[in-house]
Structure 1
C-alpha cells in the first residue's frame, strides 16, 4: 500500500523545532501544491497544530517517497534536514492508518482523549480537498478516520472524565449548579490554568465570565475570548457577590480572598451557595473560608483525586478505543487490498470485451454475406468460447506439467471447478 505519514509532535520535538516546521493557514494551500509537485506524491494532507506537524502522502504506483518528502519539508521552511531529522517519525501503510486513527481519537494528544484534535484533522482534510490534494485513497482513509473517532466518542468514556485541574473544577461546578447558563463565574488570575477553566466554562454555557487580574489589559485579552469582561484585582471584593463560581490561580505570595471578604459577599448574596476553587500554591483563598456555610471550597489537592480518577477512566477507555481502531484498521486495509483485484478485474473484462466485439463484428459480416443465422450463431459461440479459454487452458496445462499445484488449486477455487464437476455428476 503506497501510504506514508511523516511528522513530529510534542513527544518527539521541542517547541522551538515544532514552531519552525508548522504550517499556518496562510501558507498551507501553497505548501500542499508544492509538495505534490516536488515529492512525486499523488495525494497529500497536512495536519499542523501547535503540538504536531504531520504530512500524509499516497502514491498510485507504490513508490517510496519518504526521502523526497523529508527534503521538501526542509526546503519549504528553509531549514537544513539534519536540524530536525532526529525529531521526525515515519509510519507506512497499516502503521500510518493506525497512527491517524489514534491521532483523531485523541490517543496521541498531550491530554489523553482531548476532542479538539478531531476538528483540526477535519479542517486539514477540508483544506487538502480544496487544494486538490485528496484523492481516492486519502479521501477514503480520512472518511474512515472520522467514523472511527465518532464511534470511539460514542462507545467509550474517552472524553468524559476530567484529566486536568481546570476540567475537574468545572465538572464539580456542573454537579453543584445543574444549569451553568444562569451562573456567573469570577476567574482570578489570567494564566494558563485560568484560561483553560474559562474555556471549559464557556463550552458548557456559563452565563457570565468576569476575569480579575493585577494587570487589567491581560485580563481583558482573556475575557474578550469568552464574551466576558475584565476588572482589576483591587475591584475583587466589590464584584465577589456576583460570583456563583470562583476559580483562583495567581502567583500572589499572600491570599487575595480572606474570610471577612467572603462573609460580606455571602450576606449580599443572601447566602446563595458559592463554589470556590483555589488552584494556587501558595493558596489564594484563606483556608478559613471553607468553614463558612454556603461555601464549597476546594483546593488543588482536593481536585487531584478527581483528576487521578479521571485519568484511570480515560486509560481504560483508551484500551477500548484501541480495540475499535484495530477492527476498523483491518477493514480499511481489506479495502486497500481489494484495489489490486479491482484493477485486475477491469483489465480482464476489457480483454474479454475486445474478444466479444471482434467476434460480433465477424458474425455481422457473415450474416451480411448471406450465411445461415444458425450457422453464424454456432460459429460465434465456438469462437467466443475458444478465444476466452485458450490462454487460461494453455497456462493450466503448463502448471500441471511443472507441478505448480498452488496455481491449479487457485484456479479451482476461482472458477469453482470442483463444484461444477459435482453438479455435472448429479
Structure 2
C-alpha cells in the first residue's frame, strides 16, 4: 500500500485556476465517495479551500493511483488530464507525510503559520471518515497530523505575530489599547483591504464598527454582509469625535482625514486616544497629524516594518516546527510497519493458546481427580511456560518490522511457526479487486 498526495496550490496555479479547481462545500462528500469508487484507491481524503485543492490517498500502485486521481480531478472540473498534471504537485510516501504535516501546521500556506488550515483539514478528514472513505492508515495518520499541528502551535509563537497589513493594523491598535472589546472602530473604504481589516476587527471582538465609502451603496453592502453599521462619507468627521480606531484604505487622490478635521473635534472628543491607521497608497490620512495630543498615526511603512519583523519571527518558529517533522515521519513508518507484525503476533499467540487449551483438555482426561484449585495451578503454569517461550519470538517479530526485507522475513517467520496471518489491508484489497472487476465490466 502506498501514500500519495496530489496538490493544486498557490505554487502550482494562479488564483484564477485555483478558483476553477475547487470543490464547493456541499460537493465534498459526494466527491470523496466518487473517488473512493475509483480504481486503485483504497482510502482518500479531499481538502478544498480558497488556496488549495488536495487529494490524499492510499493506493495499491503509485503510478496507477496518480493517474486515476488526476483523471478524477480532470473530470470533476472539465480539464484534460494533461492540464491537471501541469497544475499539480505529486508527493509520495515519506514526502507525502512531510507535505501533510507542513500543510496542517501552516508551513505551506500563503500566510506562513496561519491556523485556519488546521480546522479545514480536520473538517475534511471528518467528512471523509463519515463517508467511510478512510481506513486503517488515514484514521491514524490524520489524527497524528492534527495532534502534531496543535502541539506545534501551542509550543511556538508561529501564529502570534501579524504578517498581513490588515492584521498588523489591528495588532497595532491592541498595543495602544490592550483589549479592543468595547472600542469604537471606523473603516474608511469598502474594498478588499477594508474587508480584511473589518474581519480582523471582528476577530478581536470589536462590535461597534461603522463603514464609510464615497459610494455609499458599497459601504452598505459590506456592512450588511458582516452585520455592522455604515454611514455616508460626509458624516466621517462627526464620528471621529467618539472613535477609538480608524482604518482607512481608499483610492482617493487627496487626504480623507486632515488636520483640520481633527481640530474640529478636539473639544467635543471624549475618547482618550485615537489610533489612525492608513493602509492606502497614496495616503488617506494627512501626515504629521498634530491636532490632538493622544493621536497615534501609522501608515503603510510603519505596518510593513512590523510585518517584516513578525515574518522573521514566524520563520524562526516555522523552522523549529519543520525540524520536528522527520520524527513524525519515523513514528508513522514505525506504526505502519507494525501493522504487518500485529496479525502475525496475534496468530502466534492464538496458536500457542490453542495448544495450551488442548493440553489442559488432555490433562483433564488423564487426571480426572484434580481439584479445581489444582487445575487452576496447572493452567497458570502452562500459560506461564507459553508466555516465556513466546517472549523472544515476539521480540524478534517486532524487530523484523523495521527491516527493509520485513515482508520476506515475516513470511519466513510464519512458515517456521506454521501460522497464517491475514494482512491488515486484506479487506481493502478485496474491495479494490471488486472495484476493479466492476470497472472493467464497463470499460
Question: What TM-score do you get using the length of structure 2 for normalisation?
Answer: 0.79
The 1-side partners of 2:265 and 2:116 are apart by 37
**Structure 1 residue 61: Cα displacement:** 8.5
The 1-side partners of 2:174 and 2:34 are apart by 49
The 2-side partners of 1:123 and 1:295 are apart by 44
The within-5 A match list for 1:76-91 is: 76-91=76-91
The within-5 A match list for 1:282-293 is: 282-290=282-290, 292-293=292-293
**Structure 1 residue 291: Cα displacement:** 5.8
**Structure 1 residue 34: Cα displacement:** 0.8
Contact 2:18 2:52 in 1 (8 A): yes
2:233 matched residue in structure 1: 233
Contact 1:180 1:207 in 2 (8 A): no
The structure that has the greater radius of gyration is 1
Find the residue that maps to 1:212 and give its secondary structure. strand
Matched, 1:141 2:113: no
Find the residue that maps to 1:348 and give its secondary structure. helix
1:109 matched residue in structure 2: 109
Contact 2:243 2:271 in 1 (8 A): no
2:433 matched residue in structure 1: none
The 2-side partners of 1:290 and 1:97 are apart by 56
The within-5 A match list for 1:176-255 is: 176-255=176-255
More off after superposition, 313-322 vs 344-353: 344-353
Contact 2:207 2:228 in 1 (8 A): no
Find the residue that maps to 1:180 and give its secondary structure. coil
More off after superposition, 33-42 vs 43-52: 33-42
The 2-side partners of 1:7 and 1:270 are apart by 53
In structure 2, the CA distance between the partners of 1:303 and 1:16, relative to structure 1 (3 Å rule), is closer
Contact 1:212 1:233 in 2 (8 A): yes
1:57 matched residue in structure 2: 57
The within-5 A match list for 1:266-281 is: 266-270=266-270, 272-281=272-281
**Structure 1 residue 77: Cα displacement:** 2.2
1:73 matched residue in structure 2: 73
Contact 1:163 1:308 in 2 (8 A): yes
1:170 matched residue in structure 2: 170
Structure 1 portions without partners, runs of 5+: 393-405, 416-426
**Structure 1 residue 373: Cα displacement:** 6.6
Contact 2:104 2:117 in 1 (8 A): yes
The within-5 A match list for 1:10-409 is: 10-59=10-59, 64-270=64-270, 272-290=272-290, 292-352=292-352, 359=358, 363=362, 367=365
Question: What TM-score do you get using the length of structure 1 for normalisation?
Answer: 0.82
Q: How many residues align?
A: 382
What root-mean-square deviation, in Å, do the aligned CA atoms of Structure 1 and Structure 2 show? Answer: 3.0
Contact 1:2 1:63 in 2 (8 A): no
In structure 2, the CA distance between the partners of 1:101 and 1:169, relative to structure 1 (3 Å rule), is same
In structure 2, the CA distance between the partners of 1:355 and 1:271, relative to structure 1 (3 Å rule), is closer
Contact 1:209 1:226 in 2 (8 A): no
